[in-house]
A and B are shown apart, each in its own frame.
Chain A
Amino acid sequence: MTQRRKWAAIPGLFILAVGAVVLSAYSGASSSQGRGPVQPINFPHPRHAGAVKDGGLGLNCLYCHNAANKSSDVGMPAVSTCMGCHTIIAGQADSSKREIAKLVKYASENKPVPWERIHKVPEYVHFPHVRHINAGVTCQTCHGQVQKMQRVYQYSSLNMGWCINCHVNGYDPKEGQKAAGYDNVPPANYSGGVPYGTPGSNAGLPVRASSFTPPGMGLPRDTAAATAGATPSAQRRRARYDCASCHY
């Protein structure tokens, strides 16, 4: 290598290295976690889904998102579902009246409400809500305590590492209940679901040393087990996690 080429190569490599660092940093920050766009109607989840003691109605998530335990898609409530109550409920506070009036306007014009989408996995990922809901995973485990959010935002990163973490380390229904914020509420028994610990269910499958190592990935860190007071991983519900479980 000539001297001149060497002087060209060193800055070149340096630029490449900087580029790699920037790219990796960018990719790590590529989640839209925390994003909470303004919605066309300022829908108060706390008022509808919040606990009664907190001034909510305590509606089950599935009342409106009623396909979550039947389908990959959760389904957004039809405008007629909203109007089922709001034909007679016009709100008390001015702010409520204003928002409900928007809804009534949409309904009277036969237009759907153009809700801003918040949670979205990429096209090449297949996320069936039905499998998770029926396995007893609380909605709040992934979506956060929406019943306390004045404006809904993306609670989890939805990155692949986050998915895999739960699939490998397992989901603890107790933690799920805690995450849901329903302290004294019995475990949610969604239709078709198998409550935790029922004989015959595959809850709490014993852990064996897994011979499966996703190629090139290594086993994800058992982060939850490292947390003090967490359920021992032996009692956690785990799920299949090879690539083709979700990517096809």
Chain B
Amino acid sequence: MSNDTGSPGVKRRDFLKVLGAAGATAGAVGCSSEKVGKLIPYLVSPDETVPGVSTYYATTCRECSAGCGLIAETRDGRTIKLEGNPEHPLNRGALCARGQSALQGLYNPDRLRGPMVKENGAWKAIEWDAALSLLSQKLAGARGTAANAVFINQHESGSFPAFLDAWLAGYGMRPHLSVDFEADSAAIEANRRSYGVAWPRLSFADAKLIVSFGADFLETWGLSVPQQLDFADARAKLAGAPRFVYIGPRRSLTGLNADQWIACKPGSELAIANALAGKTSIADAAQQSGVAETTLQRLQQEMAQARPVMALAGTRGPNALDVALAVAALNQANGAVGTTIRPAEPVTGFEGISRFGELAAAVERMRAGQVPVAFVRGANPAYALPASARFADAFGKVPFKVSFSLYPDETTELCDLVLPDLHSLESWGDAEVGRGMVSLQQPAMDPVFAGTRATADVLMQVALKEPANAARYPQKDYRSWLIQRFPGGMSAFTSALVKGVGPGAVAPRTAPAGAPATLAAASPIDSTKGDFYLVVYPSPVLGDGRGANKPWLQELPDPVSKVLWSSWVELHPETAYRLGIDRGDIVEVSTAAGKVRAPAYLYLGIRPDTVAVALGQGHSSVAKLDQFEPKHTDPKVVQWGYGRYARNIGVRAQDLLGIAGDAAGGLALVSTRASISRTGDSEPLISTEGSARQHGRGIAQAIPLSELGRSPRGDEGGVAAIAAEGDAKAPKEGAEHIPGEPPTAFLPGLRSPVAADAQGELGSPTSKDQGKLKGMYAPDHWSGMAERRWAMTIDLARCTGCSACVTACYAENNIPTVGAPWQNATIWADAKAGFNIVRGREMNWIRLERYFEGADDAKFTEDFEARFVPMLCQHCGNAPCEPVCPVYATYHAPDGLNVQVYNRCVGTRYCSNNCPYKVRYFNWFGYGEPDRKQYAFPSPLDWQLNPDVTVRTKGVMEKCSFCVQRIREAETRVKTEGRALVADEFTTACAQACPSRAITFGDAADPNWTVAKHVEDRRGYHVFDELNTYTAVVYLKKVNHPEPAAPAKA
């Protein structure tokens, strides 16, 4: 999108503003109102847009260091959806929940609107000219001591770091610190030393055995989306898939995807790695780690037999670098380098990243009063650093502090001048995604707030005020600067933007990264005081806390604990019962560094001698901001403490940490022991977890590898025999009921044929009447309505439970978030975040259910399994919800959809009561009505709303629609183009986003669609098959890979 319209004096921003006015008035009227609002035209119609038709821009995601490719769907000048760029080599069309939530960063209602200066402790809005003059004046004043200035930038790959260093050098300042509090410094350093690159490509598909030493590669370790795509592809090979062993004190989401968990003591991973390599004795390692000796022996044997092995290390303890090096040596010894670990195809996202130690050194320089001026952009060290680093104290000694933050975060609150940056979806940039491969970042829309400016442009404007510096910037803005250095210049740049990714190179960061400042060598964990090991880990959803101000992410249940809008302390039930702690009891965790109080979550996947707390929550502000009602809040009131959605939610796990580091200069997150105590308080845990057990319902089914090859019909064992001659529904005579296994047999495929699936008319699948009964819609109906049968398959062998589909659904279908403190029923002073969630009012049309198998008593065992099931409306052919609706608000469409008609719905909720899957959600409050306090989309969050989907009002039932708006859009498109729908031409939002490609959607009546093949898969089953609901969602069973030499279970 170009910045100017070609017409002098007319800014596109102005068109968008006026266009927005039309939408704002349109929302409030019904069909009979006299006030139907205004129709506001463009001043000059932009060439590439048609009103009501989306334009797509390829750009780059900046939510983590990976640099995935984005396609930003922009409608009438506003970006409404982010999807992965299919042409991008990293994410290949997929996108994680955090990437998709970038939109709520863009439209965050708490974004800073313009530059502000702190005068006598009070913030005051100023003009850009004045702000820039002030900055250059301060820079001139700091000339003599400028070498000590500090610039802390959120790590990003691309040309900007080099640009920034050059700008800093122009003022005699040292290169900036490129920080990423999630990055695993030890793994990066070990990669450099062992493989010569910061991050090799990890080829999971080539491995026969994956051994992860605490490396959470499906979440926060490395590049989650590319790794997940690769891992899912590897696991989808079923029989040829690698077995996956996870070694660590806590089973993370990645750990839950493993076939085997080896629960070692924190810090003992090194002993295990060395023992597996044969350097030390297995017996010693077993003794140090608390793992059975036989387990380690079997793993050693398996590693010797299964080639190639892929071993990964992601421990965050004081000895993390040693572990990473030992694991790298293991890979080298096993011949994994070049096959599963590919240094020749490096991922460059982590290059140039600063060590935590360098930041800590800078903080000490600040404390010593040596730093004349400090800059912060993107990063939030005041929140992210452990309390024991006393950042605020040191930062306060800097005479002039400038923040380029978009949001009112903890660090910005301490600054003297705020120059709000543009969001990455509003600004130019680039990222290196591999050697010689550049991913471009372009604005998908004009800035939401006219008062914000791109930092790169601001830096140029400041430099241009000084003649000496001005000469170095012949270009007028950063975009021109990027184009000028892009090979091929303007025309090449423009054509590269079309795909968003192409050959090229980013400006190299010439400045040496500085001597690796190492922290004081951390003491071993065991020498600290406390009864428990403390594991602190980056949240898979909120990361290091960056995501906390986005309601989609707050509302996204943690994939492991299913807790949301809250912090929690993970304890093993065995420990908890011993201490008299129950789920939801508030426990106090204290270490030498500090203490936090949070509700307990009893988790099977943690050692009994360990407690775990996630990073990400616990944002707070210096300014005391009371409980407030955002609707009544003046948008000019700055919502310090990282905005209304993050402030005072949960606890800050960093408060428990000392500033111990590892040998690579990284912050050790698993560095101390802790003691826990009951406080006597208790609260309902804010969680969407109904039951962690299946209770024999067979919702999430799995088969062991050994039964994979067997036919589902006729053989003994495994899948119960289905009698071609007998009643398919009868359970096997005298068969023992196995928890988690289906009580009845299944037939692959969709049970109900096209258009013959209406209520009650179908008969049994073996009935002689099959095919004769036409159901509600005749297949030969003149309208052609009944030609298709929309269906979905979800492959549980691929699904990792990452929950990207959930956020995709929120984004696509205008689903309100309901957990904010003010979204309760009445004005209750003590209203807490998650009020509605506790009452089961969350609106997740698709949710990730997580069930445990095994470990049936509360005793600790390593041998249990987790199964993830995305649960959404099953679009039953014989839907229980339909006949109970007294107003026919839900009915069966001829193309197989179970439809909810919002304007017919009167809110009896009978349908929800009758739904066996609990996938219907009721609008308890006016989440979609701007003048209610429960309004879920305070402006400008409402700019994101999908115009193709109704925003539901109070008292209406809603549920997954199989993205009917996408179906209609595709139908309209093919009709307009005068052609037939092509197989796999479009898909639903969840399937599109899925980073493990587990979801397939399409027309099961047309054999050309992929889904038509998948529904016939012999692993297929319907949830609650025995209810004869004839669902349109077919799940493919998970495949378990048992330990080859495991002793037989009793």
Contact yes or no, A159 B31, CB < 8 A: yes
- Chain B residues 106-129 with CB under 8 Å of chain A are none
Question: If the complex has contacts A131-B975, A210-B782, A215-B891, are A244 and B964 also in contact, measured as CB distance less than 8 A?
Answer: yes
Query: Which residue of the partner chain, among A32, A111, A126, contacts B968 with CB atoms under 8 Å?
Result: A126
A207 within 8 Å of B by Cβ? yes
B39 within 8 Å of A by Cβ? yes
A19 within 8 Å of B by Cβ? no
A80 within 8 Å of B by Cβ? yes
- Chain B residues 3-47 with CB under 8 Å of chain A are 7, 9-10, 14-15, 18, 22, 26-27, 29-34, 36-45
Q: In the assembled complex, which residues on chain B have CB atoms less than 8 Å from the CB atom of A202?
A: 784
Contact yes or no, A192 B785, CB < 8 A: no
A200 to chain B, nearest CB (A): 10
Give the number of residue pairs across the A-B interface with Cβ within 8 Å: 181
Query: Which residue of the partner chain, among A76, A107, A241, A244, contacts B783 with CB atoms under 8 Å?
Result: A241
Contact yes or no, B44 A80, CB < 8 A: yes
Looking at B49-57, B536-544, B603-611, B701-709, the stretch in contact with chain A turns out to be: B49-57
Q: In the assembled complex, which residues on chain A have CB atoms less than 8 Å from the CB atom of B14?
A: 110
Q: In the assembled complex, which residues on chain B have CB atoms less than 8 Å from the CB atom of A210?
A: 781-782
Looking at B367-375, B629-637, B772-780, B931-939, the stretch in contact with chain A turns out to be: B772-780
A186 within 8 Å of B by Cβ? no
B533 to chain A, nearest CB (A): 51
| Cα–Cα distance between A110 and B5 once the two chains are bound (Å) | 13
Question: If the complex has contacts A80-B43, A238-B782, are A117 and B38 also in contact, measured as CB distance less than 8 A?
Answer: yes
| Cα–Cα distance between A242 and B22 once the two chains are bound (Å) | 30
Question: If the complex has contacts A31-B32, A32-B32, are A240 and B42 also in contact, measured as CB distance less than 8 A?
Answer: no
Contact yes or no, B43 A30, CB < 8 A: no
Contact yes or no, B782 A115, CB < 8 A: no
Query: Which residue of the partner chain, among B36, B774, B894, contacts A120 with CB atoms under 8 Å?
Result: B36
Query: Which residue of the partner chain, among B7, B893, B976, contacts A134 with CB atoms under 8 Å?
Result: B976
Looking at A54-62, A67-75, A88-96, A143-151, the stretch in contact with chain B turns out to be: A67-75
B233 to chain A, nearest CB (A): 34
- Chain A residues 103-126 with CB under 8 Å of chain B are 107, 110-126
- Closest Cβ neighbor of B38 among chain A residues: A114
B972 within 8 Å of A by Cβ? yes
- Chain B residues 954-1000 with CB under 8 Å of chain A are 961, 964-965, 968, 972, 975-978
B1015 to chain A, nearest CB (A): 22
- Chain A residues 19-36 with CB under 8 Å of chain B are 30-32, 35
| Cα–Cα distance between A239 and B977 once the two chains are bound (Å) | 18
Query: Which residue of the partner chain, among A75, A122, A208, contacts B30 with CB atoms under 8 Å?
Result: A122
Query: Which residue of the partner chain, among B780, B783, B888, contacts A240 with CB atoms under 8 Å?
Result: B783
A115 to chain B, nearest CB (A): 4
- Closest Cβ neighbor of A35 among chain B residues: B34
Q: In the assembled complex, which residues on chain B have CB atoms less than 8 Å from the CB atom of A122?
A: 30-31, 903
B838 within 8 Å of A by Cβ? no
Query: Which residue of the partner chain, among A70, A79, A245, contacts B41 with CB atoms under 8 Å?
Result: A79
| Cα–Cα distance between A242 and B892 once the two chains are bound (Å) | 9
Q: In the assembled complex, which residues on chain B have CB atoms less than 8 Å from the CB atom of A111?
A: 18, 43
Contact yes or no, A67 B783, CB < 8 A: no
Query: Which residue of the partner chain, among B31, B42, B901, B961, contacts A78 with CB atoms under 8 Å?
Result: B42
Question: If the complex has contacts A70-B50, A244-B964, are A124 and B782 also in contact, measured as CB distance less than 8 A?
Answer: no
Contact yes or no, A78 B893, CB < 8 A: no
Q: In the assembled complex, which residues on chain A have CB atoms less than 8 Å from the CB atom of B968?
A: 126, 128, 245, 248
Q: In the assembled complex, which residues on chain A have CB atoms less than 8 Å from the CB atom of B727?
A: none
A130 within 8 Å of B by Cβ? yes
A189 within 8 Å of B by Cβ? no
Contact yes or no, A117 B37, CB < 8 A: yes
Question: If the complex has contacts A67-B53, A248-B899, are A238 and B39 also in contact, measured as CB distance less than 8 A?
Answer: no
User: Contact string, B895-934, partner A, CB cutoff 8 A, digits 1/0?
Assistant: 0010101111000000000000000000000000000000
Query: Which residue of the partner chain, among B776, B893, B901, contacts A211 with CB atoms under 8 Å?
Result: B776
Contact yes or no, B42 A79, CB < 8 A: yes
Query: Which residue of the partner chain, among A112, A120, A243, contacts B904 with CB atoms under 8 Å?
Result: A243
| Cα–Cα distance between A107 and B44 once the two chains are bound (Å) | 10
A18 to chain B, nearest CB (A): 21
Contact yes or no, A31 B31, CB < 8 A: yes
Contact yes or no, A123 B27, CB < 8 A: yes
Looking at B405-413, B486-494, B500-508, B943-951, the stretch in contact with chain A turns out to be: B943-951
Most B Cβ at <10 Å: residue of A67, A134, A205, A247: A247
- Closest Cβ neighbor of B28 among chain A residues: A123
- Closest Cβ neighbor of B977 among chain A residues: A192
Question: If the complex has contacts A123-B951, A159-B31, are A244 and B44 also in contact, measured as CB distance less than 8 A?
Answer: no
- Closest Cβ neighbor of B928 among chain A residues: A123
| Cα–Cα distance between A243 and B951 once the two chains are bound (Å) | 17
Question: If the complex has contacts A122-B30, A128-B972, A211-B777, are A73 and B51 also in contact, measured as CB distance less than 8 A?
Answer: yes
B967 to chain A, nearest CB (A): 9
| Cα–Cα distance between A78 and B949 once the two chains are bound (Å) | 26
Query: Which residue of the partner chain, among A159, A194, A206, contacts B782 with CB atoms under 8 Å?
Result: A206
Most B Cβ at <10 Å: residue of A32, A134, A192, A240: A240
Query: Which residue of the partner chain, among A32, A81, A244, contacts B893 with CB atoms under 8 Å?
Result: A244
- Closest Cβ neighbor of B973 among chain A residues: A130
| Cα–Cα distance between A239 and B785 once the two chains are bound (Å) | 9
Contact yes or no, B36 A117, CB < 8 A: yes
Query: Which residue of the partner chain, among A79, A116, A131, A240, contacts B44 with CB atoms under 8 Å?
Result: A79
Query: Which residue of the partner chain, among A31, A71, A80, A206, contacts B45 with CB atoms under 8 Å?
Result: A80
Contact yes or no, B31 A120, CB < 8 A: yes
A244 to chain B, nearest CB (A): 4
- Chain B residues 721-742 with CB under 8 Å of chain A are none
Q: In the assembled complex, which residues on chain A have CB atoms less than 8 Å from the CB atom of B15?
A: 112
A77 within 8 Å of B by Cβ? yes
Q: In the assembled complex, which residues on chain B have CB atoms less than 8 Å from the CB atom of A71?
A: 50-53
Q: In the assembled complex, which residues on chain A have CB atoms less than 8 Å from the CB atom of B902?
A: 124, 247
Most B Cβ at <10 Å: residue of A30, A69, A71, A158: A71
A111 to chain B, nearest CB (A): 8
Query: Which residue of the partner chain, among A73, A107, A131, A248, contacts B965 with CB atoms under 8 Å?
Result: A248
Q: In the assembled complex, which residues on chain B have CB atoms less than 8 Å from the CB atom of A35?
A: 34
Q: In the assembled complex, which residues on chain B have CB atoms less than 8 Å from the CB atom of A14?
A: none
Contact yes or no, B904 A212, CB < 8 A: no
- Closest Cβ neighbor of A243 among chain B residues: B901
Q: In the assembled complex, which residues on chain A have CB atoms less than 8 Å from the CB atom of B10?
A: 110
Query: Which residue of the partner chain, among A126, A134, A216, A245, contacts B975 with CB atoms under 8 Å?
Result: A134
Most B Cβ at <10 Å: residue of A73, A117, A123, A202: A123
- Closest Cβ neighbor of A215 among chain B residues: B888
Q: In the assembled complex, which residues on chain A have CB atoms less than 8 Å from the CB atom of B26?
A: 117, 120, 123
| Cα–Cα distance between A7 and B894 once the two chains are bound (Å) | 51
Contact yes or no, B782 A208, CB < 8 A: yes
User: Contact string, A193-204, partner B, CB cutoff 8 A, digits 1/0?
Assistant: 010000000100
B778 to chain A, nearest CB (A): 4
Q: In the assembled complex, which residues on chain A have CB atoms less than 8 Å from the CB atom of B893?
A: 242-244
Contact yes or no, B40 A247, CB < 8 A: no
| Cα–Cα distance between A242 and B33 once the two chains are bound (Å) | 26
Q: In the assembled complex, which residues on chain A have CB atoms less than 8 Å from the CB atom of B42?
A: 78-80, 112
- Closest Cβ neighbor of B779 among chain A residues: A211
- Closest Cβ neighbor of B19 among chain A residues: A112
Contact yes or no, A248 B903, CB < 8 A: no
Contact yes or no, A75 B894, CB < 8 A: no
Q: In the assembled complex, which residues on chain B have CB atoms less than 8 Å from the CB atom of A117?
A: 22, 26, 36-39
In the A-B complex, list the 3 residue pairs whose CB atoms are closest, starting with the nearest: A73-B52, A30-B32, A71-B52
Which B residues are closer than 8 A to A by beta carbons? 7, 9-10, 14-15, 18, 22, 26-27, 29-34, 36-45, 50-53, 774, 776-778, 780-785, 887-888, 891, 893-894, 897, 899, 901-904, 948-951, 961, 964-965, 968, 972, 975-978
Known: A192-B978, A208-B782, A247-B903. 7 other contacts (CB 8 A): A80-B44, A211-B777, A243-B891, A244-B964, A247-B901, A248-B961, A248-B964
13 CB-based A-B contacts, threshold 8 Å: A75-B52, A110-B10, A112-B40, A113-B41, A115-B38, A124-B903, A126-B968, A134-B975, A158-B31, A215-B891, A247-B902, A247-B904, A248-B949
